[in-house]
A and B are shown apart, each in its own frame.
Chain A
Amino acid sequence: MSSSGIRQVTQDRSLFVPAGLFLVLLLAVAFRGQGLFTNNGLAGAILVATPLILAALAITPIVMAGRGAVDLSVGPLMGFINVTLITWLVGNGITNPVAVIAWAVGLGAAFQFVQALVIIYVRVAPIIVTLSGFLVLSGVNLMVMSRPGGVAPDWMLSWGAGTSVFSPVLLLLVAAFAVWGVLRRTMFYRNLRMTGADERMAYTSGVPVDVVRIIAHVVGGAFAGLAALSYTALISSGDPTQGSTYTLQAVTALVLGGASLSGGRGGALGSTLGAINMFLISYLLSTFNFGTVSGFVTQMAFGLILVGSLLVNVFVTSRRAVA
């Protein structure tokens, strides 16, 4: 991943800003203390950052498919998989790892498949469909489980210990990257970028845009399933409301990673960098002690860093347009 990753960064200028921010943040974190660079620190970081990275990956293909298709439903979808996993599966004694993983990935893919069909055949703007999905799932989550509770399957409890870097959670991440790496080499990926950049042009060139959209959603849904698994491992229980907060975080990570919300531009590497940067920002801010106002300073600083890096993004993009 690293050598091809470096090649991508040097070739794709939209990755300059996220990569630069990543290096700056890494230096700042190193300067503030060594906590992150120990075995335990790194293992904990992977555990905490993985749900966000996977959530950002889950909306990447959907956003790339264009039509302003920001998938607002990803957070509640993670929550939905989480609560159904705990209530319906574990609650009924089904804890077989294969069944649990298949349920998570299958449910995510199935939900996104339905959303794709609604977008294609009802022909309503995607953002309205996903807004509807957000509201429905936020409500249903609370109906399935009214308050946080339950326990994750026994075999998953060790996932959330955060004592080893090479934990199954890292495996989930690697699996997602492997899937993406395979997809990148297929015709689908090229068609996806064409559809996102200009759907009419793609359609007239014979690209099956509807099939591309369906595959993009299904892949995104499967990633959302992996995200929900890592999220369940992180909290080791069920939580009907916290999942929803991942929507805005994932969209933010995507934009920080240099993707365009209007489609065509973006990729797994950018989204991952964006998500890691968001984690590093909050980690860095947590090393400072602002006393009683700490939470508010963190919120303000986070907002300002977001504003700043978006402005730098604009600067770099406009430079490119001139050149």
Chain B
Amino acid sequence: MVSTVMNTEVAMARSASPFRTHKSIAIGFALLACLLALGALLVPGFVSSQNARSILLLAAFLGLASVGQTLCALVGALDLSIPYIIGGANILLPSLMVAGLPAPVAMIVVLILGALVGAANGALSFRLQGQALIMSLGVGFAAVGAVQIYTSLGSQFGGTVFAPVPDWLRNLSAFNGKFFGLPFPPVIVIWAAVAIGLGWIMYNTWFGRSLYAVGGSRTAAARLGISEFRIWTVIHSASGAMSAITGMLLLGFSGGGFVGVGDPYLFTTVAAVVIGGTSLLGGAGGYGATVLGVLVLTVLTSLLVGLGLSFPAQQAVVGLLIVPMVAIYARSPHIRNQI
């Protein structure tokens, strides 16, 4: 029994070594370059500022939604509440603005609520560990149900909310938005800032290093005096907050609140994390890898759209490509080599 435990730890330490991570990053870049080259060759108009802008815009939303999923994956959890919190934030914000709150205040309220729901999710699911994803699903259902009850008070439709969206919010994430006069929407800059900030936090703070420690080996992390519960709750709370932000930014993109807006993010966030090379078992990977995964996924989709594939066909092709892409760098050793 002791040897099994030790071997597990050794295997995990090996998979978390810098070489493995860098290998997955290098392969990710190669994959991205291949896709871009293919797009440039096969699809007329693929290399244009229009297309680059639309790819980056869609990637920014997916990237912001994947922040929480990446953090959760690093400790071996999956957060299935993300699409529901995105949808909830997307209808709660306009409905609060209709109720008379100034937009910035309403946004702060939604952000805090998102973080609180995430924290509740983390605190409740901590003891469940392996089953935590079902708890996040339950919390997501409860949260989006409560928001819809609130938004439908006094109106017939709880799932869709129409309200005038302020111009600056629309400018933040609309396709033709301007960043200080430059021709791209500011949400791309927000995503880049979040990515850089998160990268710094993960590598230079006690919190970031503890996260990897917990994901790598719980026993060792506990010996170092790291509170597993605190880490677990904080990352779920961050996931809730980032989902709320994504939901609010999507409002600027679409112009009207719709509760189903988050649904595509249920499995695409997981796919982005996985393609990037972050292990779903925890301990290895990072947000930089997820950024690559998000870009690969978005460029691939754009390429497939350019080739004239319908949405179902795109989904099938992306699904087919996930296993080979992951197999390049994330194969586990044969069981006889794990003993």
Contact = CB atoms under 8 A, between A and B. Distances in A.
Contact of A304 (B4, B138, B148, B339): B138
B55 interface: no
Interface in B286-339: 310-320, 322-323, 326-327, 330-336, 338-339
A321 to B, nearest CB: 11
B141 A303 contact: yes
Interface SS majority for chain B: helix
A200 B332 contact: no
Interface residues of A, number: 59
A300 to B, nearest CB: 3
Given A204-B339, A252-B134, A300 B146 contact: yes
Contact of B145 (A134, A203, A303): A303
Nearest to A307: B138
A201 B127 CA distance: 26
B258 to A, nearest CB: 15
Contacts of B311: 139, 142
A141 B313 CA distance: 10
Contact of B267 (A131, A198, A201): A131
A125 B332 contact: yes
Interface in A270-323: 292-293, 295-307, 310-311, 313-314, 318
Nearest to B134: A255
A139 B140 CA distance: 25
Interface in A219-261: 248, 251-252, 255, 260-261
A201 B4 contact: yes
Interface stretch (A44-52, A116-124, A153-161, A168-176): A116-124
Interface in B126-158: 127-131, 133-135, 137-146, 148-149, 152-153, 156, 158
B62 to A, nearest CB: 15
Given A123-B332, A123-B334, A140-B312, A299 B156 contact: no
Contacts of A295: 148, 158
B146 A123 contact: no
Interface residues of B, number: 59
B280 interface: yes
Contacts of B128: 310, 313-314
A262 interface: yes
A261 B130 contact: yes
B271 A293 contact: no
A122 B327 contact: yes
B331 A124 contact: yes
B137 A306 contact: yes
A128 B142 contact: no
Interface string B247-282: 000000000000000000001001100100001110
A143 B312 contact: yes
A3 B315 CA distance: 47
Interface of A: 68, 70, 72, 118, 122-125, 127-129, 131-143, 146, 198-201, 203-204, 209, 248, 251-252, 255, 260-262, 292-293, 295-307, 310-311, 313-314, 318
Given A124-B330, A303-B140, 11 more contacts: A122-B323, A134-B267, A142-B315, A143-B316, A204-B339, A251-B133, A251-B134, A296-B158, A303-B137, A307-B135, A310-B135
